[in-house]
Copies of this chain bind each other. A is one copy, B any other.
Amino acid sequence: MPEPIVFEDTVSYLLAKVTTAYRNTIEQHMAKIDLHSGQVFVLIELWHQDGIKQIELAKLLNVKAPTVSNMLRGLEKINLIRTKKTTKDGRAMTVHLTEKGKKIRAEVEKRWIDVEAECIAPLSKSDRVVLFEVLKKLRGTYTGQNVIDED
Contacts and interface: CB of A to CB of B under 8 A. Distances in A.
A119 B121 CA distance: 25
A122 B109 contact: no
A127 interface: yes
Q: Interface size for chain A: under 10, 10 to 19, 20 to 34, or 35 or more residues?
A: 35 or more
28 contacts: A4-B105, A10-B112, A10-B115, A10-B119, A11-B116, A11-B119, A12-B119, A13-B44, A14-B135, A15-B19, A16-B22, A16-B37, A17-B139, A18-B142, A19-B19, A19-B23, A21-B139, A119-B141, A121-B148, A122-B146, A122-B147, A123-B137, A123-B138, A124-B149, A124-B151, A127-B134, A130-B130, A130-B134
Interface of A: 2, 4-5, 7, 10-26, 37, 41, 44, 62-63, 105, 109, 112-113, 115-116, 118-128, 130-143, 146-151
